[in-house]
Amino acid sequence: MKYRLNHFALGARNIYEAAARLRKETGFGYTTGDWIQTTGCHMVPLGGNVFIEVEGTIDAHAYLAMPKPNYTYDALDTDNEYNGDHFTGMMLGVDTLEELEEIGKRLGGGVTPNWPDPYRHFQRPDGYVRRFQSAPYYEPTSGKSRPRGMPNFYWYPDVPGRPSNQPVVSTAHLVTPTGVKWVEYGGTEEQMSKWLDVPKASDVLPFRFNGKALGTWAICVGVEGGDDVVIRRPPSAASIPDDSKYKANSVA
């Protein structure tokens, strides 16, 4: 089984502000308009079919009606030098549905259904509905959940349609990212290796481990004709020292 980096979720209080700030920091362009239910994303292609989704709640009415406490909201509510930005997820990719099903089974769950309702999928303003599946998926009644901070796995059948491969909005001073060079992750190599079921995770993907709270801490991205850039934000778990009061992870 071949693992790839698929994408990173960068949670933001205000995705418009966060994406504009990330562009000033890196020179990387982005697309706008992607959304699913009450979450919107500005997408930052990184090269090599990998992207960052700058994600946030874009519906205050819906947020107020949600059950509380809300893990992601509370993490983003913690002030930092990035207006509250936190890495909220790392998503790995596999190349086939069979591989995804195997992962789901190994981790005691299954694969998300390919729901027919477009409202359950990311949509774009050009009408595109992004169909993908992820694992491990646990039925809501199972009582099981993915450990917080460990990556989930995705299968995107439409590689050209992936957000990494859409044209960014043109603006001055853009630079071209050439792919992820390394990822700084919390926890230990042993934890990640066990989760991936491989002898050594850093032989499979360009990981470095810092032993801190689980989650993405930094991404180093190559830049065409320029120095590499390191995008550093705390992961959610760094700002939620006691997660016992929160319900289990979402499943998608």
Reduced to 3 states (helix: H, G, I; strand: E, B; else coil), residue 178 is strand
Give CA–CA dist 17/40, Å, rounded.
Answer: 13
Query: In the stretch 149-178, what mask flags binding to other proteins with x, by CB under 8 A?
Result: --------------------xxxx------
- How many positions of this chain bind other proteins (CB under 8 A)? 35
Residues in the chain, overall count? 252
Rg (CA), the chain: 17
Give CA–CA dist 144/228, Å, rounded.
Answer: 40
Task: Tell the smallest beta-carbon distance from residue 184 to other proteins (Å).
Answer: 26
125 binds other proteins (CB under 8 A): yes
Neighbours of 226 (CB within 10 A): 12
130 binds other proteins (CB under 8 A): no
Contact 102, 197 (CB under 8 A): no
123 binds other proteins (CB under 8 A): yes
Task: Tell the smallest beta-carbon distance from residue 9 to other proteins (Å).
Answer: 17
115 binds other proteins (CB under 8 A): no
Torsion sign (Cα): 99, 100, 102, 103 = positive
Stretch that binds other proteins, among 32-40, 176-184, 185-193, 200-208 (CB under 8 A): 32-40
Q: Which residues bind other proteins (CB under 8 A)?
A: 13-17, 19-20, 30, 32-33, 35, 38, 40, 42, 56-64, 73, 76-77, 84, 123, 125-127, 169-172
